[in-house]
Amino acid sequence: MAIIEARGLARTFSSRRGPVEAVRGVDLDVEEGEIVGFLGPNGAGKTTTLRMLTTLLRPTAGTATVARADLLRDPVGVRRRIGYVPQAIGTTAGGTDPSCLVAEELRTQAELYRLPRAEAVRRAALLIGQLELGGLEQRMVKTLSGGQRRRLEIALGLVHSPRLLFLDEPTTGLDPQSRSNLWDHIRGLREKLGTTVFLTTHYLEEADTLCDRVLVIDHGKIVAEGSPDALKRRISGDLVTLSVSADPRTAKGVLAGRPGVREAAVDGRALRLTVEHGEEALPGLLRALDGAGIALVSIQLARPTLDDVFLTLTGRSLRDDSPAGPAAEPVGAAAAG
């Protein structure tokens, strides 16, 4: 059963230059226990969609059921059942008061969810252990490191053991260690508690390694969805780069028509192929070269990244924002050769 089901969700803001359609009719379904990533460049409508799903912003059109409560008719019901961790960068921070104590923030949060005092204290202690905040209970929030503060903010979203957790840019601004540590925590939530996680990110690596499924949003519409692998397969194909002792144009003539080879281009001394299911096609390609008497000097197989997918879908690259280096050239560059 879907834990999030949205149909035609839209939000139009009015501005001096007329209405701005931030989100234009988003349909989405998230199943219980999934980790779903919402991927898109800044201004694509990620945060606006998230704010609608978490009752912070009323949609101008569309309907949604979130954690079995109707978003429009029962927003308090939605609030009771979801956890939400705001993004920690930009105009607003992640939701903790710098002058509060760690344990205090957790207890307050639990009481905001109407947990009895004793239960609030118990939950606070439990989450302090789970999110590795032990020993920091009596520290002021402003003395925490970036990673510790973010873990506290995630703990705040979990005090009432929600079945569904929304994370807005959970790891933005963190160092690589803190980031992968946080990923472990998010995976653990799903493994141990079956929590469904819906997160926005503009880190491709995050979507790739953490998410079961990725929704790509651009200009306020969802332009693709699927598992990271499926998206990559569907959009780009794998990139095979060969260098041969003979003229690469000869090799191109041999390989261009072979099954699975979508594109072939000569790039200096190298031949670049875009190939479907690259690892399976490779032996056939090698045999063909061998049969034609062409000696191979080197061969490289690169999987496309989500950035390639992104570039294909939106015509824009997310790479400037991505901490992970690209594993392959964008498809566009190969095709242009």
Partner 1 sequence: MSFARDTLLIFRRQLRLSLRNPAWVIIGLIQPLLYLAFFGPLFAKVFDTGLIGGARNAYGYFVPGLLIMMGLFGAAFVGFTIIADWRNGVIERFRVTPVSRLAILAGRVLRDVVTLLVQALLLVLAGLAFGLRAPVIGVLIGFGFIAVVAVSLAALSYMTGLLTKSEDVLAPAVNMVTVPLMLLSGIMLPLVIGPGWLQVVARVSPFRYIINAMRAAYAGHYGGSIMIEGIAVAVGLAALCLWLAGRAFMRENA
- The site for partner 1 (CB under 8 A) is made up of 54-58, 75-76, 79-80, 82, 84, 86, 88, 91-100, 104, 108-109, 111-114, 156
Min separation Cβ 242 and partner 1, Å:
52
Min separation Cβ 205 and partner 1, Å:
25
- Comparing CB distances to partner 1, the nearer of 55 and 305 is 55
Min separation Cβ 86 and partner 1, Å:
4
Min separation Cβ 83 and partner 1, Å:
8
Q: Quote the Cα angle for 125-130-132, to 5°.
A: 95
- Comparing CB distances to partner 1, the nearer of 84 and 198 is 84
- Centre a 10 Å sphere on the Cβ of residue 91 and count the other Cβ atoms it contains: 5
Ramachandran angles phi, psi of 283, nearest 5°: -55, -40
Min separation Cβ 122 and partner 1, Å:
18
CA distances from 315 to 217, 248, 309 (A): 13, 30, 10
CA distances from 115 to 106, 122, 145 (A): 11, 10, 28
- Comparing CB distances to partner 1, the nearer of 89 and 286 is 89
- Which of 308-320 are b and which e, b meaning 16 or more Cβ less than 10 Å from the residue's Cβ? bbbbbbbeebbbe
- Comparing CB distances to partner 1, the nearer of 112 and 297 is 112
Distance CA 225, CA 216 (A): 6
Token readout for 214 is 């990725």
Min separation Cβ 71 and partner 1, Å:
11
- Comparing CB distances to partner 1, the nearer of 95 and 337 is 95
Q: At what angle do helices 117-130 and 102-112 cross, to 10 degrees?
A: 130
Q: At what angle do helices 117-130 and 146-158 cross, to 10 degrees?
A: 140
- Comparing CB distances to partner 1, the nearer of 138 and 177 is 138
